[in-house]
Chains A and B, each alone.
Chain A
């Protein structure tokens, strides 16, 4: 395992999933791959937490699922953002930015 990967802080997985799906509908495996790729392998999503998180978001109505055909021509379950999900993404993103800004400020000045 590459040693430079870090664990996801609590609660950020939802935000990452929502953000990843805001570009295009993806299936679960692709969500994990995309997060890993974009973060240059720093963030690794465990399958054990990915799928429960997807199902939880679906239940809340922020994403919805439909069956489609994958890039390798297999039946796969694609998730896409709903309108409520898009709003939720803004809310969470806002909160995240506030939080990181605050944390950064403390780290640099205190």
Chain B
């Protein structure tokens, strides 16, 4: 064994010497044999001829000797690589084409794989993430605590609700995201603060101390990375809090943006004890060894108990636990997997082109290969040489592909799809590199093997005979070529169909009427601090003054609403309708409630379908009024005149404060363009008794530039109260864009892949046709000499390509009908087998194929019969 290894190494290192020795040894043998024949009376030439004939292929014997010496594998590889690199460099156009084709295919795949890797494959940044669960439904703090106490499946549980807070440090007041938490949250996630400590259980109680834990970015940006910050005070929404901890830089909550963490009991004592306030996301950590099913059964029992105990609010319980990772990526997973599949098809098309390039090149190199074969090189040896070459190409393609992928991921991030919101960069880790290496290697071997294998069959003599006029390049090879063309056309059609469907769905989505006119409207979000505006009258005064001041700006009109359309935000209330039998407690209809002030409907151009709009005299001290939307009427007051009907929220132990419906407004999309419109009630801020609804969104209409206007409006806000932060400044057009961002992302990506596929398929067909025309120059020349017309020549040449393309299109249509079904969840208002789309993309692909056939065919028209015959 040791001897064997030493021997191999020695031969490897003294390679040139060993080669010379082999040469010498074999030459000596030949000379000796010739001498023997001469001495037996043969003539010199005859002796030489005979000896050589007996010896056989010298190259082959050498090969076998090298193999016998065990130098073959590494040695041959080095040799083949050197040889391959030299030949590739000698054909720069071919090499560039092949590398570019593969780089596009591999690069696009790698980019998508990087996303799949960071979103779907990477584990969550918490210890033992497989133990973490999330509840699908929000819950209240009392319920969370009861469940934790009454079950045995969970090691820990915690809840969080994100609320805006104002941080008033040195400069302008800033609106930040505060996480209202309970003490169990951090134990559940299993993370420790970087500095100081987390909120303890005995601080997380009614009247607990005003302690705050801050995030790393908040500590860095607003507290100057002060390492002595612990124990110091900061002001949040008018109250003073003591900093007790700083979280590590890589910590974030599973889903929620959070700058500071405060106890729910401390920051929001009004809501903390209420069982019916289901507003916390809850997270659960399983005890080791407990299964999801056990935990689910455990929690279901408590749910039943709570429903019996508290029928008023807990009747409809049914907590569903899901693994945290699924909860986080569940929405994006189908889209990502479909994109990954689509980009895989692009790679297949690129590979088909790559294989065809190799085949065309094999024909150009036929003479070289034949010479080597006739010198005794074995078939397996030639195949191996060509595989080395194709793998070399594909690895270079993969390296360039990495570059493409890097640019690609930057582009993906720039698209800002909602699901990639938390990702600022998409890292390329070891797994991504392994992926690139693996697919490059596989591509080179697999798609290099096809043409190499099909070219190597058939014996040399036949090939030699054929060489003079290469008409039929072996049946197997022309079959392979036809197969590749058909396959890539079919794959391209599937991609085009998918992209077409997404584009159509997107256009449908964009053309959905949101119910208002977003032109020239800008919005800003404000929230009044509870400390200075505890009651409705003070809030109303601020609001009214603010509207008056902004309306006084030249050319500016403004109104306000609690939550703007398309934001997905609203407050749900259960309502009762006067004169109707009261439904059982907890089963009253639940509707969206929105508060407005000012000329909101006119400004947003939301038509009033019946009755009247709010007017200035509808205000505090006057009869309570409401406007409902059409969905409300059709669902709860069908066939009735809604005007004059009285409604109110459900109230326990309080007298009703009936509101009279005075008007019906047209439906407005509150949750997103692809969401249905739910019943909604508009009431007046000034007539509200909900002093907790302290937030508002200004809608401002103006023709002057936004930037200028923003400054003017801010000045007006701060002239009333300099401690109020302003946030979410955007035009409503932006909001529309955000609401379709995910669809746009899907459509753009699949569109790009389809365009890439179309281009690759077009190039593939073109390449094949150009090659065939070249090959058939002689035949065409004869044809023309025999009196064929232009039309005949065109038909002769184009027939093959067009037939293959048609076959590919038909197969592709079948494939598309079978495959686009997986896209249903991504499509808006389009069936996956939408005939116009399928026909459209088939026509588009057909046109491209026709063009790709026509250009080389036109060249065939220029063939002069004499020249063609002479080219023999």
Interface residues of A (CB under 8 A from B): 27-29, 46-48, 51-53, 55-56, 58-61, 67, 70, 72, 74-77
Contact = CB atoms under 8 A, between A and B. Distances in A.
In order of increasing CB-CB distance, the 10 nearest A-B pairs are A55-B68, A52-B64, A56-B68, A52-B68, A29-B32, A61-B3, A77-B25, A55-B65, A29-B29, A48-B56
22 contacts: A28-B28, A29-B28, A46-B56, A47-B29, A47-B54, A48-B55, A48-B61, A51-B65, A52-B64, A55-B65, A55-B69, A56-B68, A56-B69, A58-B69, A60-B3, A61-B4, A61-B7, A70-B28, A74-B32, A75-B28, A76-B25, A77-B21
A56 B31 CA distance: 23
A33 to B, nearest CB: 8
B21 A51 contact: no
A59 B61 contact: no
A75 B31 CA distance: 12
B64 A48 contact: yes
A50 to B, nearest CB: 8
A72 B68 CA distance: 29
B25 A28 contact: yes
A47 B27 CA distance: 12
A48 B54 CA distance: 9
Contacts of B611: none
Interface string B1-23: 00110011000000000000100
B810 interface: no
Given A51-B61, A52-B65, 19 more contacts: A27-B25, A27-B28, A28-B25, A29-B28, A29-B29, A48-B56, A48-B64, A51-B25, A51-B26, A53-B68, A55-B65, A55-B68, A55-B69, A59-B4, A61-B3, A61-B7, A72-B32, A75-B28, A76-B28
Interface in B61-77: 61, 64-65, 67-70
A39 B585 CA distance: 112
A69 B286 CA distance: 84
A52 B67 contact: yes
Nearest to B29: A29
A28 B21 CA distance: 13
A71 to B, nearest CB: 9
A48 B60 contact: yes
A52 B71 CA distance: 12
Contacts of A75: 24, 28
B35 interface: yes
A50 B55 CA distance: 11
A74 B65 contact: no
Contacts, number: 67
A60 to B, nearest CB: 7
Contacts of B55: 47-48
Chain B, interface residues (CB within 8 Å), range: 20 to 34
B737 to A, nearest CB: 71
B702 interface: no
Nearest to A33: B36
A47 B53 CA distance: 11
B33 interface: yes
A9 to B, nearest CB: 19
B4 A60 contact: yes
Nearest to B64: A52
A51 B21 CA distance: 12
A47 B56 contact: yes
Contact of B68 (A28, A59, A76): A59
Contacts of A52: 61, 64-65, 67-68
A28 to B, nearest CB: 6
A72 B4 contact: no
A83 B401 CA distance: 57
Given A29-B33, A48-B61, A59-B7, A77 B68 contact: no
Contact of B69 (A29, A59, A76): A59
Contacts of B8: 59
A32 to B, nearest CB: 8
- Which of B3, B4, B25, B26 has most A Cβ within 10 Å? B25
A28 B32 CA distance: 10
A46 B54 CA distance: 8
A77 B56 CA distance: 21
A51 B23 CA distance: 12
A58 B22 CA distance: 13
A70 B25 CA distance: 12
Contacts of B56: 46-48
Contacts of A59: 4, 7-8, 68-70
Nearest to B33: A29
B31 A74 contact: yes
A52 B25 CA distance: 12
A81 to B, nearest CB: 15
A26 to B, nearest CB: 12
B24 A77 contact: yes
Contact of A74 (B28, B54, B57, B64): B28
Contacts of B61: 47-48, 51-52
Nearest to A74: B28
B64 to A, nearest CB: 4
B5 to A, nearest CB: 10
A75 B821 CA distance: 77
B85 to A, nearest CB: 28
Nearest to A60: B4
Nearest to B69: A55
A72 B24 contact: no
A28 B65 CA distance: 13
Contacts of A56: 68-69
- Which of B3, B33, B57, B68 has most A Cβ within 10 Å? B68
A52 B61 CA distance: 7
B369 to A, nearest CB: 22
A87 to B, nearest CB: 14
Contacts of B29: 28-29, 47, 51
A94 B57 CA distance: 35
- Which of B7, B29, B57, B67 has most A Cβ within 10 Å? B29
A53 B68 CA distance: 7
Nearest to B35: A72
B68 to A, nearest CB: 4
Contacts of A47: 29, 54-56, 61
A21 to B, nearest CB: 15
A91 B33 CA distance: 33
Nearest to B31: A74
A48 B68 CA distance: 12
Contacts of A53: 68
A76 B21 CA distance: 10
Nearest to A44: B54
Contacts of B60: 48
Contacts of B24: 75, 77
B404 to A, nearest CB: 46
A71 B7 CA distance: 29
A58 B68 CA distance: 9
Contacts of B69: 55-56, 58-59
A51 B61 CA distance: 7
Contacts of A61: 3-4, 7
Contacts of B54: 47
Nearest to A71: B32
B443 to A, nearest CB: 35
A29 B68 CA distance: 18
B28 A77 contact: yes
Contacts of B31: 74
A72 B38 CA distance: 14
Interface string B711-729: 0000000000000000000
